[in-house]
Structure 1
Amino acid sequence: MANTYLDAGTGDALVFLHGFCESKEVWTDFMRPLQQQFRTVALDLPGFGANTHAVSSYTMESMADDVKRQLDELGIQKYLLIGHSMGGYVSMAFAEKYGPLLQGLCLFHSSALPDTDEKKENRDKTISYVERHGVKNFINPFVEPLFYRENRERLKPEIEMMKEIGRATPKKSVIGALAAMRDRPDRTDVLRAAKFSVLFIFGKEDAAVPLDKALEQCHLPGNSMVYFLEKTGHMGMFERTSETRKAIQKFAETIF
């Protein structure tokens, strides 16, 4: 079976979790410069990328357990967790269950808030669309709007890569993850109680995590750093690679 993780570099561990219909591959280039200073690990979440062993239930909690299992197998005891979008939701579930293992947490275009009623409705519509029309027909129009419109031309290869990863995702995983995101609880209390530092990275043009929702939570942890990126949608690792990488590097330096 193919590896469900990328693991390179030595030192304190930065662990990257991908978002919905993504895989560990979205972090490949992003992590490379950080490997001079840190051990960087990117994991495939259950049902995505190479992590294709049978998934009995799709929940943020079960995904967090799988992250813990993979990190245990890699022998990593303490880490900074960086979660993009759905990976951030998994990170919040992880923080709730395994908080003492965390040195820090980065919500990368993500949120501790639950879905709004409107968003839940949209998830249901998407589930029925995927059931009827399949993953490919869903992915093709889904990916491009994640990027701010002014960045789309420049990032055509990245958009194509994202579509390719998305199209390879099993239908069961897409539907399971949509339901898991819809049903996830409010975890703002986890931020309030956090003993670890939290880094928030938000795109000012991100339709998935609107600015007002971002502002609702970034003051909750006792110790937090916040980056708001202009002309950036939901995909800062591609849209603003050097700025977001530098933010994570600085954050990691303050923690370790």
Structure 2
Amino acid sequence: MKKLILGLILLLVGIAGVFYLSPAALVGSMRLVEQQLAGLDSKQLTVGDLSIHYYEGGPASAETLLLVHGFGADKDNWLRFARHFTSRYRVIALDLPGFGDSDKPHASYDVGTQAERLATFTQALGIQRLHLVGNSMGGHISALYAARYPEQVLSVGLFAPSGVQAPRKSEFFQRLEQGEANPLVARSTEDFQALLKLVFVEPPALPQGVTDYLAERSIANADHYQAVFEQLVTRYIPLEPELPRIKAPTLLLWGEQDRVLDVSSIEVMEPLLEHPSVVVMAHCGHAPMIERPEETATHYQAFLDALTPEQTGTPPEA
């Protein structure tokens, strides 16, 4: 018995040592746990000449929620949010081309191109109608998709989307106009820490080794991200002319202390939408589904529960 106990202790110490020496292993384990809690499986699909990686879970016959991440992010951003929906919905969160585990070819990454790639992705999966949710750049892409393919979209959730000229300039845009380096592109550990503080009011609590590993990954992609950002600027598609074309009910959800995209954007967007709903979360930053996933999910579920068959074009149940 003593040998067994000693063996277990040595095994646990060994595992802890692996995690301490290999933050990548710890991140991978944390991701797997979050996937299991969310009821999501990792999948891959080749669309055209691109390999797209995504999570999927929930009943295959249920209505689809498609989750679209923002700039410099990936499908993991949705894990804690998604766990609240996989019991009732087919939930899909993808890595957009150019991000996460999906292919990153030398190609176009403007929001218009990405919206068309998203349409090709949904077609490949056989999705005919869906609820779209996007954050930041992903919100911009989701809004374009809803404007271009209104017959496919049951509803749209836009969480602090880019794409409109806010009445008040955010700290992010003020810093760019002053000639500072792009604060969304980290080129050092210090940059990454500053990025977390810019995006969140209260950054997620993570072990230092994990934060350092995530910083290393972000730094390794810095040149790619800057190139993508420059395309977003030079090939910018304003949402103001597009929003009136969105026929689906649309939730505008924003963190009141968003320093990346100012909450005053709602003042521009709400009057242009046919069926808008608005939620502003106090003491919250640019990525509410990460900073406060449960509260964000509660607001979004309330939005879904309030949808009527007339709004979504869905035949009422017999």
Query: Counterpart of 1:141 in 2: which secondary structure?
Result: helix
Tell me what 2:85 maps to.
Answer: 34
If the length of structure 2 is used for normalisation, what is the TM-score? 0.69
Q: Which amino acid aligns with 1:156?
A: A
Cα shift readout 1:69-123 (whole Å, capped 9, x = no counterpart): 222222211111101111111112323332322111111011440587x939818
Query: What TM-score results when the alignment is normalised by the length of structure 1?
Result: 0.84
> What's 1:139 paired with?
192
Whichever residue aligns with residue 76 of structure 1, its letter is I
Partner in structure 1 of residue 173 of structure 2: 119
Q: Is the 8 A contact 1:22 1:165 kept in 2?
A: no
Gaps of 5+ in 2: 1-41, 45-52
Match of 2:12 in 1: none
Compared CA separation, residues 121 and 140, structure 1 to 2 (3 A): closer
2:113 is the alignment partner of 1:69 = no
Which of the numbers 206, 210, 218 marks the counterpart of 1:157? 206
The alignment status of 1:252 with 2:304, answered yes or no, reads: yes
Q: 1:219 aligns to what SS in structure 2?
A: helix
User: Bigger radius of gyration, 1 or 2?
Assistant: 2
Identity of aligned residues (%): 22
The more displaced of 156-165 and 196-205 is 156-165
Q: Does 1:173 align with 2:228?
A: no
What's the counterpart of residue 283 of structure 2?
A: 231
With over 3 angstroms needed to count, the CA separation of the structure-2 counterparts of 1:71 and 1:129, relative to structure 1, is closer
Structure 1 residue 55 displacement after superposition: 4.1
Check 1:135–1:173 CA distance in 2 against 1; reply closer, same or farther (3 A cut): farther
Structure with the larger helix share: 1
Which of 124, 132, 139 matches 1:88?
Answer: 139
Match of 1:196 among 248, 264, 268: 248
- Whether the 8 Å CA contact 1:83–1:90 is kept in 2: the answer is yes
- How far, CA to CA, are the matches of 1:58 and 1:231 in structure 2? 32
Q: Is the contact made by 2:158 and 2:250 (CA closer than 8 Å) also made in structure 1? A: yes
Q: 2:271: which partner in 1? A: 219
Flag structure 1 segments of 5+ consecutive residues without an equivalent. none
Kindly indicate whether the alpha-carbon contact (under 8 Å) linking 1:43 and 1:67 is maintained by their aligned counterparts in 2: no
